Amino acid sequence: MRGYDAVKRVLNGEHVTAEVREGGEEGEGGRRAPPPSHHQRSSLSLSPQVEWPYAIRELLGPGSVSTTYHADHRKLRQTLAPAFAPRAVAAAVPHIASLLTGHIQSWIEAGPGLGGVAAAKAATFHVVLTVVMGFPPSWTTPAALADMSGLFEAWLQGFLPGRKHLAAGLAARKKIVAAIDAATSPGVAARRAMPADDRPPPASMMDRLADAVDADGVPLAADRLPTIALNLLFAGHETSAQTLTHLMRTLAARPDLMERLRREQAAVVAEHGPEVTASSLAAAPLAAACVREQLRTVPVVAQLFRKALAPLDVGNGVSVAAGEVVVLDLEHTMATDARWEGEAAGGPLDPASFAPDRWLSNSPDAKKEGAFLPFGSGARMCVGWTLANAELQAALALLARTAAWRVHAPGAPLARPPAPRLPVDGLVVTVERWGGWEE
């Protein structure tokens, strides 16, 4: 069985799998697959890891999107969905682009030696905070963004193995939840005090959550809303920031692609004008292809965890007993799937290489939607994937139009899992204004 088929089957097989965070000490006593060799590694293997999911569950807290199950989960997803519908995201593109423009400008003004990872996080945090959550501007001053980023960094440390890390992460969680509650609870209470028919249409995710009811028709408990907001803020900025970091790192080493991206944007501006809109993003297939290819080659969510609820045959002679944990290796699946082989305009394609042209070729072999899983699949598929795509394409369009950057240590290694796989130096860059073809 191909990796993609196995992974997709498990992700979509709700009747036999459940999110690993649901149970207690999952995986204990579980059968372990023999360690796969480099060449024979199966993209589906049994996990000996038990602490990581436990820490994730504790750090997110009960009642978040990721830690809600069954009917309650479906209901919550329905509440969130309108904010991420393609039309809503398309309408938000100019706003997203204006926020990103301000950040790119500040990167240029920062001069030599900017921390690229931190800069990308501040930008994507600003977007999700403002565009999705609708938090007040007092949250998005540079000082407030830095404070909240610091708290999220401390919270993220809780994902590393060990009780000390978890305790520090949980302490940061308390502060984040308190801050979110202080910023949002008056608005939620005021909205809930109005008869439902008199409420203005929801203008933010917090409005949607204020209006929402759970699977039994009861309004969501007020103390649950900050937990849901924390989940969205985390999932909505960390992943996009990491992908943007990788994109900047990749493209700094590919002047050929940068030149093509700049030419593409020059044509887009000539046809659509200077504003970055959904139409201008749609007119830039190379930028979209670079984003997809970055997500494929370095998926920032590299593995997903599922627990078998019933005995599960996953193919390749591997079966999983009820209660065992399955690790789905998205990275390996996407890097090796034979459907990525084939021809693009430049010649044969190596599945593991960064080759955006595989998305542009007219050859049916080169365009393979099938094996593309950076956002997962099934009932738990990323709720914000439409926003992430638009945000990353907008960032790339703006960078190609206005900036040139140099990575100080292009060979800096990536941190090893379970730490996020980011350059260990934080991607030190110098960003300069790029004046366009006329200069």
Q: 351 or 376, CB closer to ligand HEM?
A: 376
Query: Quick one: tokens of 325?
Result: 């944990």
Q: Which of 242, 60, 241, 237 is nearest to 166 (CA)?
A: 60
In whole angstroms, how close is the CB of 126 to ligand HEM at the nearest point? 13
d(CA 50, CA 30): 10
Q: 176 or 387, CB closer to ligand HEM?
A: 387
In whole angstroms, how close is the CB of 62 to ligand HEM at the nearest point? 14
Interface residue list for ligand HEM (CB under 6 A): 65-66, 77, 128, 132, 231-232, 235-236, 239-240, 243, 295, 300-301, 304, 374-376, 380, 382-384, 387-388
In whole angstroms, how close is the CB of 17 to ligand HEM at the nearest point? 10
Which residue in the block uniquely carries the two structure tokens 């999705």?
132
Q: 284 or 388, CB closer to ligand HEM?
A: 388
Q: 100 or 108, CB closer to ligand HEM?
A: 100
In whole angstroms, how close is the CB of 204 to ligand HEM at the nearest point? 12
The set of residues, in sequence order, having a beta carbon less than 8 Å from that of 130 and lying 6+ positions away, is 95, 99, 140
Q: Which residue is nearest to ligand HEM (CB)?
A: 384
Q: Which of 425, 395, 419 is nearest to 407 (CA)?
A: 425
Q: 44 or 304, CB closer to ligand HEM?
A: 304
Cβ atoms 120, 241 nearer than 8 A: yes
Cβ count near 68 (within 10 Å):
25
Phi, psi of 353 (to 5 degrees): -85, 155
Phi-psi region of 416 (alpha: psi -120 to 50; beta: other; left: phi over 0): beta
In whole angstroms, how close is the CB of 207 to ligand HEM at the nearest point? 15
Q: 276 or 300, CB closer to ligand HEM?
A: 300
In whole angstroms, how close is the CB of 300 to ligand HEM at the nearest point? 5
Q: 312 or 344, CB closer to ligand HEM?
A: 312
Q: 58 or 432, CB closer to ligand HEM?
A: 58
Amino acid at site 31: R
Q: Note every long-range contact of 202-211, with CB atoms under 8 Å and residues 24 or more positions apart, other chains counting.
A: 202/82, 203/134, 204/132, 204/133, 204/134, 204/135, 205/80, 205/83, 205/132, 205/133, 205/134, 205/229, 205/232, 206/133, 206/134, 206/135, 207/134, 208/79, 208/80, 208/82, 208/83, 209/79, 211/79
In whole angstroms, how close is the CB of 13 to ligand HEM at the nearest point? 12
Phi, psi of 429 (to 5 degrees): -135, 160
In whole angstroms, how close is the CB of 338 to ligand HEM at the nearest point? 22
